[in-house]
Amino acid sequence: MPSLRLQYPIRTLDNQLLFPPETLLTEGALDAVIDSHRADSNQTCPLLSYGSLREDCLNFLSIPPYATIFRDTKEIDNLLNLFKTIHFSIPILQSLDYFKQHDLYTYTHVLMVFALSTLLAKDLIPDYEECIRLAATGPTHDIGKMCVPLHILKKTTPLTKTERGFLEHHAAAGYALLGYYYKNC
């Protein structure tokens, strides 16, 4: 992993500072943060058993343009059955709660990327285990956006250079957060 100087902080949902601004994010620095969290339990839960995610997914799949893509009820049932086999750590699921409460656009986007990537993976990847592994990246791909101030995430006018920097920071933040929550990098 090449090193990266962070311009902005990386915090967990409970506001724990993992990396302050100006930290050089290296493999060693990330390993140290992961090791500090390694003893914590890593409870998991099936995605569709958590909160209202099942109902929300079904609702979003019934709205255009997704209603056209997922018009076959058998396809939806197959998709939901596959979703049931995918477990996420509780903090990942809590990040979805955060987006549902604070940024419905990101929440919808994350769930629809999950549905679409699962549909593609199912059709393109013959190995079932590999299909599940790849599909499971859908709900995690934007977790770093929880480190972006909400006024930037929800902004409808063009972003300033600083705001754009914050938004671009979400990829590095997501990498660090996923390593932290899953205890590896």
Task: For residue 2, give the 3-state DSSP assignment.
Answer: coil
Report d(CA 102, CA 122) in Å as an integer: 31
Q: Give residue 39's pLDDT.
A: 63
Report d(CA 170, CA 110) in Å as an integer: 14
**Contact between 82 and 46 (Cβ < 8 Å):** no
Mean pLDDT of the chain: 89
pLDDT surpassing 90 at residue 11: yes
Q: Give residue 82's pLDDT.
A: 81
pLDDT tens by residue, 67-110: 999 998 988 888 888 888 888 889 999 999 999 999 999 999 99
For residue 23, give both structure tokens: 């930290």
**Contact between 142 and 123 (Cβ < 8 Å):** no
**Cβ neighbours of residue 55 closer than 8 Å, sequence gap 6 or more:** none
| pLDDT class of 154 with cuts at 50, 70, 90 | very high
Report d(CA 26, CA 43) in Å as an integer: 27
Q: Give residue 132's pLDDT.
A: 78
Which stretches does DSSP call E strand in the chain? 4-5, 10-11, 17-19, 24-25, 44-46, 87-89
For residue 22, give both structure tokens: 């100006």
**Contact between 180 and 12 (Cβ < 8 Å):** yes
Greatest Cα pair distance in the chain: 50
Report d(CA 13, CA 80) in Å as an integer: 27
pLDDT surpassing 70 at residue 40: no
Q: What is the model's pTM?
A: 0.89
